[in-house]
Amino acid sequence: MTDVLARLRALQEGDLPTHGGSTLAYVYDSGLAEADEIGRAALAQYGATNGLDPTVFPSLRTLENDLVGWAARLLNGPTAVGTVTSGGTESVLLAVQAARDGGRAAAPRSVASPNMVIPATAHAAFHKAAHYFGVRAIVVDVDPVTFTPDPADMAAAIDDNTVLVVASAPSYAHGVVDPVREIAAVAADRGIRCHVDACIGGWILPYLRRDGVAVPDFGFAVPGVTSISVDLHKYAYTPKGASILLHRDAAFRRAQFFASAAWPGYTMLNSTMQSTKSGAPLAAAWAVIHHIGDEGYQRLARVAYDATQDLAKRADDIDGLTLLTTPATTLVALRTNARADVFTLADEMATRGWFVQPQLSFRDQPPSLHLTVSAATAQRLDALTEALTTATQAAQASGPVQVSPDLAAAATALDPSTLDEAAFDGLLTIAGLGDTAATGTLPTRMAPVNALLDVAPPALREALLIAFLDRLMRPA
């Protein structure tokens, strides 16, 4: 037994650290060792339970209703109901599916070719929902300075087939809160649902407000908001696999549920996309949330927020780095000037033990760096500032990665739908990912890969990355 666990530990040595505050995306560290310990214990205790049927494991029903009630209080929804899901993406998928199939509460209607109006900054999960459920995404551009959409533009994009309007609180890429009140009003005016994607902000904005930070309205107190997603495995600092989708009232949730008696086995009755589902993430979330408690979250929110504002100021003061916008919560977006590129900077940060996340150019916006700040990072701000400073200097010394103009022109001209597997093999080799596809070992420097992806149009980026994944994920 110890042998296989030792092998797991050895394998994990190649992973990013999940704790210690140096991984500024993907993971969220409260810095509270006891909370982590409790989460792990609850995961183990509930690993074999099945949330398929809440009457067979009644404790899961108790835990879920308790957490949904907590979230509903936090987000001012006295009549709200909800569901614990496996993550933000599942919450978003179900919000879109419920809007497609449920229409606006009192008047369910079936729309032949449904669409949803989303800001360009909405999370990619909405595009996944569009892809899965045939709900076309109508994308509204955002202001180049505030990175939020004009509610009038959202209104103008709505048509008779619109089933959902979306706002973020905040957006992942820029960390700003959309004008939720105005967007929800536009939706309500047309009798359309409005989803607020608070996956990353929903557990932190309310606590910041309690602590005196000026936070714009985004919850159910805003008329017209019909559903909200809030991830527990982000700023509730719970183990992965837990998010909540709230609906304003039970009528809005009904179309999300699925039952099937169309087979000879047990009648299937599901609240989520999964059927058999582990009770472990739910139990762990419940344990961690009750352990940390409202006061604990208020303190953690303040610590992460103050660290973010401090980091944003310090980063903006570094020669060659610019803050895109003042962070509304705990997300920082940075840009380099022409003397360096963000991709080289990310590599330089990695060699210094810090993971920061490159964001490719999009529409009119140049590439940027994303930093998700959690409470554990607050204790390491001096080291982080020092790393950003020296990494920026190093990135300037080597200069931006140059993509040959011929290659850039070829990338722009390629139609991914015409490429065969051999062509993808060739392109992956050009991109520097050929070896990785074959052996699974990533290049030590990702900047050349990212720089090439950056000059490719989004459709080619997607096709290349899918070809890459296809080669990566094969048994040895």
Ligand X SMILES: *Cc1c(COP(=O)(O)O)cnc(C)c1O
CB of 331 to ligand X, least distance (A): 8
Q: Does 391 bind ligand X (CB under 6 A)?
A: no
- Nearest residue to ligand X, by Cβ distance, number only: 88
Measured in degrees and rounded to the nearest 5, phi and psi for residue 335 equal -130, 150
Candidate residues 29, 182, 197, 341; the one interacting with ligand X per rule CB under 6 A: 197
Q: The dihedral of CA 95, 108, 140, 449: what is its sign?
A: positive
3-state SS class at 443: coil
Q: Is there a contact between 250 and 271 (Cβ–Cβ < 8 Å)?
A: no
Task: Specify the residue, 125 or 387, whose C-beta has the smaller distance to ligand X.
Answer: 125
CB of 328 to ligand X, least distance (A): 12
Candidate residues 99, 125, 255, 282; the one interacting with ligand X per rule CB under 6 A: 125
Q: Is there a contact between 32 and 236 (Cβ–Cβ < 8 Å)?
A: no
Q: Does 87 bind ligand X (CB under 6 A)?
A: yes
Query: How far is it, in rounded angstroms, from Cα 230 to Cα 74?
Result: 11
CB of 457 to ligand X, least distance (A): 24
3-state SS class at 320: coil
CB of 172 to ligand X, least distance (A): 4
Candidate residues 22, 23, 83, 89; the one interacting with ligand X per rule CB under 6 A: 89
Query: Going along 149-219, which residue ranges are E strands?
Result: 162-168, 193-197
**Structure tokens of 378?**
């607050």
Task: Specify the residue, 123 or 314, whose C-beta has the smaller distance to ligand X.
Answer: 123
Query: How far is it, in rounded angstroms, from Cα 122 to Cα 105?
Result: 24
Q: Does 173 bind ligand X (CB under 6 A)?
A: no
CB of 110 to ligand X, least distance (A): 27
CB of 373 to ligand X, least distance (A): 13
By the 10 Å C-beta count (0-12 exposed, 13-18 middle, 19+ buried), 412 is classed as: exposed
Query: How far is it, in rounded angstroms, from Cα 342 to Cα 356?
Result: 10
**Structure tokens of 336?**
């380099």
CB of 163 to ligand X, least distance (A): 19
Task: Specify the residue, 24 or 200, whose C-beta has the smaller distance to ligand X.
Answer: 200
Query: How far is it, in rounded angstroms, from Cα 71 to Cα 78?
Result: 10
Q: Does 93 bind ligand X (CB under 6 A)?
A: no
DSSP string for 102-152: H-BTTB----SS-EEEEETTS-THHHHHHHHHT-EEEEEP--TTT----HH
Q: Does 199 bind ligand X (CB under 6 A)?
A: yes
Q: Is there a contact between 436 and 405 (Cβ–Cβ < 8 Å)?
A: no
Q: Using DSSP bridges, classify how beta strands 357-359 and 331-336 pair: parallel, antiparallel or unpaired.
A: unpaired
CB of 74 to ligand X, least distance (A): 17
CB of 403 to ligand X, least distance (A): 30
Element (DSSP H or E) covering residue 408: helix 405-413
Q: Does 454 bind ligand X (CB under 6 A)?
A: no
Candidate residues 21, 31, 51, 88; the one interacting with ligand X per rule CB under 6 A: 88
Interaction mask 105-124, ligand X, x per CB under 6 A: ------------------x-
The residue range among 42-50, 84-92, 209-217, 301-309 that interacts with ligand X, by the rule CB under 6 A, is: 84-92
Candidate residues 27, 164, 200, 384; the one interacting with ligand X per rule CB under 6 A: 200
Residues 268-297 that bind ligand X (CB under 6 A): none
Candidate residues 30, 97, 168, 278; the one interacting with ligand X per rule CB under 6 A: 168
Footprint of ligand X on this chain (CB under 6 A)? 87-89, 92, 123, 125, 168, 172, 197, 199-200, 231, 243
